Amino acid sequence: MLDSNLSTAQLILISIIPVLFAIVLHEVAHGWAAYRLGDRTAMMLGRLSLNPVKHIDPIGTILVPAILILTVNFAFGWAKPVPIDWRNFKNPKRDTALVAIAGPAANLAMAFGWGLIAAIASILPAGLAQFSQPLLNMAFIGVFFNVLLMVFNLIPVPPTDGGRIAVSLLPPTAGNLLSKVEPFGLVLLLLLIFTGVLWQFIIPVIQTISALIFSLFGV
């Protein structure tokens, strides 16, 4: 498990790599899926790059995580959304859903990757504890944060990926009605985050999925 004796500064330091990878690759996955389905917008704007600077959102990547770490010792955030031009898709409803699911799918893949790293770190010789323990802490954060980002983004409230998937899959009338939530969706989600209401519903799901991943790798 994550070392409970970590200071806030240590927690921030070991969170940087897994958090940046989680949010950057999430957005790159959206752009890559859109590119494969016929939309070159993200590629032309340089958003298929792994350079974190191109994906930083002042609120989601800096402000929100900083506030949460300082107040509840817990990190959460997101990157600047990748621009998508849905008009370039041959099958807009289907392709919109595929592009939306690409981000959470990337986070699930990364969670498994960090699970493998945790397994490797846990069997390193005791003489390498100065290296293996920080790596193990980083891997635990990597699994938990990627699962968190996946579950959060699958909430069916636009502008999350889950919201876009729901709008694409629902009948036109219901989909159009749900899409009208998007202008207020982010404010609603931020309100639920900072009041703690959202965590009561999704933390048990996140803990269950994370535990299954660690169990799969024998950690």
Confirm if 78 and 65 have CB atoms less than 8 A apart: no
> Mapped to the 3 state alphabet, what secondary structure does the chain carry?
CCCCCCCHHHHHHHHHHHHHHHHHHHHHHHHHHHHHCCCCHHHHCCCCCCCHHHHCCHHHHHHHHHHHHHHHCCCCCCCCCCCCCHHHCCCHHHHHHHHHHHHHHHHHHHHHHHHHHHHHHHCCCHHHHHHHHHHHHHHHHHHHHHHHHHHHHCCCCCCCHHHHHHHHHCCHHHHHHHHCCHHHHHHHHHHHHHHCHHHHHHHHHHHHHHHHHHHHCCC
Q: Is the dihedral of CA 124, 19, 181, 87 positive or negative?
A: negative
- Out of 26, 27, 162, 210, the active site residue is 27
Active site residue 27: yes
Which residues are part of the catalytic machinery?
Answer: 27
